[in-house]
Amino acid sequence: MRSVVVYANQQAVADATGARLGVALSDVIAQRGVAHVVLTGGTVGIGLLASLASSPLVGLIDWTSVHVWWGDERFVGARDADRNEGQAQRVLLGIVPLPEENIHRMGSADEFPTAESAAAAYAAEVAAHGTPAWDVLLLGVGPDGHVASLFPGHPVYAAADLVEAVAVHDSPKPPPNRVSLSLASINRAREVWVVAAGEAKAAAVSGGLAGDKNLPVAAVAGTERTLWLIDASASTEI
């Protein structure tokens, strides 16, 4: 099932999605005992975590039952400001009582010689946890229609279907070296939530919803539900 929800502006998308995530995590834990959430970087992706951190909902979640994963990561030094995990750590993960062993970071350039070795290690980490069907998987969208670090026309996007995680080089958006979940891994999620705000995302949103095969964002779907959580500016071309 696919639904599109349009909010007034970027902050409203972040606030509503942060609250939605808090409720979803509590529900999943009540139903299944453990929740696997996949985070995204980007403006809305980090904004919604900050919003959840300042919501009363944050205190209702049993964080010891939450496992946190990433859809993609920039393959740079561990302390680089570009790291998606560092940004998430600052706004939410470092504030809530989340056990360190439940935080599944993609490897940095300080720990691994190549993005390939970091991707292989991440695939092994996913396998070691039973290759979970992600309960909620968040995805930002680039103006070019990329999701995670799967970019339109990039050779890795076309080839990345049979593995869990891939190394990406020559990313059109800096930094050039990245690690990403594959489309197959993304589409194992029970719920995929695509978040986008701003006029720059309008073409990617309309192309994605129309099923433009050139756009990675058009190829993502949850097995139970796909939610597009966007603001009015990003919805102008639908």
Q: Which residues bind ligand LXAUTJHC (CB under 6 A)?
A: 40-45, 72, 84, 140, 142, 148-149, 173
> Of 29 and 105, which has the nearer Cβ to ligand LXAUTJHC?
105
Our CB check for ligand LXAUTJHC shows the closer of 50 and 148 to be 148
Taking the C-alpha atoms of residue 87 and residue 64, their distance in angstroms, rounded to an integer, is 21
Structural contact between residues 84 and 73, judged by C-beta atoms closer than 8 angstroms: yes
Q: Residue 46 CB, nearest distance to ligand LXAUTJHC (Å)? A: 8
Q: Give the nearest distance from C-beta 142 to ligand LXAUTJHC in angstroms.
A: 5
Residue 31 Cβ, how far from ligand LXAUTJHC at the closest point, in Å? Answer: 27
The tokens describing 231, both together, are 């603001």
* Dihedral angle of Cα 233, 212, 158, 71, to the nearest 10 degrees: 30
DSSP letter for 19, please. Answer: H
Peptide bond before 175: cis, by omega within 30 degrees of 0? yes
In the complex with ligand LXAUTJHC, the residue whose CB is nearer, 29 or 68, is: 68
C-beta closer to ligand LXAUTJHC: residue 29 or 220: 220
CB of 47 to ligand LXAUTJHC, least distance (A): 9
Instruction: Give Dmax (Cα) for the chain.
Output: 44
The answer to whether 67 and 29 have CB atoms below 8 angstroms apart is: no
Pick 36 or 146: Cβ nearer ligand LXAUTJHC = 146
